[in-house]
Amino acid sequence: MGFPVTAEEATDADAMPGNPREELRRELDEARKALHADRAGGFDALVVDTGHGEELFSGAARAMRELRLELDEARETLHAIRTGGFDALVIDAGRGEEVFALGGTGRPDRLLAGGITNGGVRYFRAVALDFDGTLADGPVAPATLAALTEARARGIRVILVTGRIMSELRAVFPEVDEHVDAVVAENGGLLVTHGGVRLLAAPVGRAVSAALTGRGIAHRSGQVLIGGAAADEPAALEVVRELGLDCQLIRNRGELMILPAGVTKRTGLLEALGELGLSPHNAIGVGDAENDHSLLDACEVGVAVANAVDALRAHADMILARPDGEGVADLLLGPLLAGRAHLYPRRWQVTLGTDDGGEPVTLPGSQLNIAVCGGTGRGKSYLAGLICEQLIRLGYSLVVLDPEGDHHGLGELRDVIITGGHEGRLADPGEVVRLLRHGRTSVVTDLSHLDAAARAAYATDLASEVEAHRAATGVPQWVVVDEAHVPMGRDVIARRMLDPPAKGYLLITWQPAELSADALLALDAVITLGSGRPESRFIDIAAAVADMPRAEIARLLTGPGGRAVLAWRQHPGRAVAFTLGPRITPHLRHAHKYGQAGVEPGRRFYFKTGPDTATGAVAANLDELEAELGRCDRAVLRHHCPRHEFSRWVAGVFRDEALAADLAELEAALPADSHAAVVEQVRLALIALLQIRAN
């Protein structure tokens, strides 16, 4: 999540060259010069992009319209910089999307140039707000109510998540039903929607209230919780213990709540989002106090208002510049909810593998488009599956368009449904969307049994259904398209398959140059598989996205299997080579190499730590070789690799010369006296290579 930053810190960078405000001021100067030139007769006509396509205008009045547009955009963005606390700001200054990261010092660094943006596209569909100290400190201010109204008018669902008893909330906020879509009251114990009231837990027993009364301890009873003063916590804890109840005590500044065990703002919020058909990955949580930790953790982005307690500020992904309702209004009207800024919390990250220094190589789990590129048999499906399985385990929802049936292994994970293929019925596009409504479900559509024309027709229909559902709910967060150059090729109407500003597309292709211009321009990151002789088509796309010389990219891509290069527009000039990480789900295996029986005993591989020192481990097939490489002692690798015995076994027994050549290149990197870190790096590369070739 990086260091949380405030807008006050960001303003310290006003005088720095290249900061967002200076960029905007230069844009305004250019607009004023254009207006002056038009008034002086410098232009016969102006072509203006109004956001609805280019329009031709002539005369000073038309130039004035352009200037007003420039001024409005500039004022809006400057206001966002002043009022929002962000890890990064994504600003369209008229030359394409540019990212300015705000570190702990608040000083901006330009990270991205290039790409496209559309400020009208939203990733976030819900905001979950604490009440006391967050939405208000007493009655809700008119300006805050106006911001709530405007956000809801744009389709943002507002959920109030409070520790208050419902009657006490209505006493201070009587018009609550008019301004929110749901209320989670009693710290997660009660859900109130326009459909009615629902208890989310059994009430704390009356015996607790009676015991507190007997001790002279003032308290209040809700429908689920019992509330009191934080100063009475020791006595309340003693009562709970004496009664032998499974209850928890939660503090909220000066207040104390006694709740059934396991009931939190997080559990209540998840119920509310489920009622509204939304995902926590499309939600922002905002709070100020100790009982808001679970609220922030449940959401894609957790936000603390400026007046939050120190512990929550340290825990948040983002800190607002102003307190309670003022800060909330800034967030509701600011660029993050409008889709003009992106924030990538580190708790939602996908690990691709490790670089040559042993450090993890990661990408954000949302709000970007990724392409996986490489030649046939280099491991594209393996790498895509590595990304998908992590996204699924993080709770994101995926739809996978699988033309060759390469992604059946994902069905081993919870909440993943496989439909289609030679042995199953293919759900129609409408059914796929209905499946997505069940929590965090992901769907793999196996089209391997269809001919090319039927695949194209199904892909078009599925795209239409999925994009409509995404527009309404944000789900699925990811659309995965294998052989992407076919449905998103240059001769295809790609906009039916890809809505670039919406983000969340994983494209897998061995022909990146055949992708449409829309698809290519929308890419934020490209992961290219390495090889002994990388081809120009893969060098070209990686170099373009990384903004690096082709020769340097070619050097990074040259190497054995099991390696790849990540190019990310957010880090120009900093492409990184890495060894692919291991997968947790099975993938397709060729029976003669990976079958359980394996080869006869005389042709099996016998592991040793020295010429005459056998470990007792034996591999009859490549599956067993991979498994033993993962657990064997380093001495085994130091013995076999310098002698190229793994590669010679693969070549001699399985006749897989390509795999053997890649193994031999890895073996050559490990002399017998290699440091432990080198041994582990080669071990990971060997395992990854075997897993990739099993696809």
- On whether both 539 and 418 belong to a single domain, the answer is yes
How many angstroms separate the most distant Cα atoms in the chain? 93
**pLDDT, position 429:** 95
> Helices in 94-202 by DSSP H: which ranges?
142-153, 166-172, 176-179
526 pLDDT band, cuts 50/70/90, is: very high
**pLDDT, position 251:** 85
- On whether both 417 and 502 belong to a single domain, the answer is yes
Residue predicted with more confidence, 191 or 693: 191
- On whether both 414 and 312 belong to a single domain, the answer is no
In a domain, 586, yes or no: no
- On whether both 597 and 573 belong to a single domain, the answer is no
Residue predicted with more confidence, 122 or 8: 122
DSSP, residue by residue, 458-496:
HHHHHHHHHHHHHHHH---SEEEETTTTTTTBTTS-GGG
In a domain, 662, yes or no: yes
CATH number at residue 175: 3.40.50.1000
**pLDDT, position 493:** 56
Over the chain, what is the mean pLDDT? 82
Last residue of a domain, one of 62, 83, 113: 113
Last residue of a domain, one of 338, 373, 390: 338
In a domain, 2, yes or no: no
Last residue of a domain, one of 338, 360, 394: 338
- On whether both 451 and 543 belong to a single domain, the answer is yes
Highest mean pLDDT among 314-328, 437-451, 591-605, 679-693: 314-328
Does the pLDDT of residue 278 top 60, yes or no? yes
pLDDT digits (tens, 9 = 90+) for 389-429: 999 999 999 999 999 888 988 999 999 999 998 777 999 99
Distance CA 572, CA 55 (A): 34
**pLDDT, position 119:** 41
Strand 576-580 with 349-355, pairing: antiparallel
**pLDDT, position 110:** 28
- On whether both 310 and 386 belong to a single domain, the answer is no
**pLDDT, position 587:** 54
pTM for the whole structure: 0.71
- On whether both 138 and 212 belong to a single domain, the answer is yes
In a domain, 121, yes or no: no
What is the mean pLDDT of the segment spanning 679-685?
A: 91
- On whether both 16 and 80 belong to a single domain, the answer is yes
- On whether both 194 and 249 belong to a single domain, the answer is yes
**Which is nearest to 88 in space by CA: 369, 361, 318?**
318
What is the mean pLDDT of the segment spanning 130-146?
A: 95
- pLDDT above 90 coverage of the chain, percent: 57
In a domain, 358, yes or no: yes
pLDDT digits (tens, 9 = 90+) for 329-369: 999 999 999 988 889 999 999 999 999 999 999 999 999 99
pLDDT digits (tens, 9 = 90+) for 220-260: 888 998 889 889 889 889 898 888 888 889 888 888 988 89
CATH number at residue 546: 3.40.50.300
CB 470 within 8 A of CB 427: no
In a domain, 17, yes or no: yes
The whole domain housing 250 covers: 126-338
- On whether both 467 and 609 belong to a single domain, the answer is no
- On whether both 153 and 288 belong to a single domain, the answer is yes
- On whether both 400 and 477 belong to a single domain, the answer is yes
**pLDDT, position 599:** 79
Does the pLDDT of residue 103 top 70, yes or no? no
What is the mean pLDDT of the segment spanning 538-551?
A: 96
> Which two three-digit tokens encode residue 675?
């440091």
Work out how many domains the chain is built from and give that number. Answer: 4
What is the mean pLDDT of the segment spanning 290-305?
A: 96
**Range from 10-14, 243-247, 385-389, 512-516 carrying the lowest mean pLDDT:** 10-14
Does the pLDDT of residue 11 top 90, yes or no? no
Phi, psi of 608 (to 5 degrees): -140, 160
What is the mean pLDDT of the segment spanning 468-474?
A: 91
The three-state secondary structure class of 295 is helix
In a domain, 120, yes or no: no
Distance CA 97, CA 521 (A): 11
In a domain, 344, yes or no: no
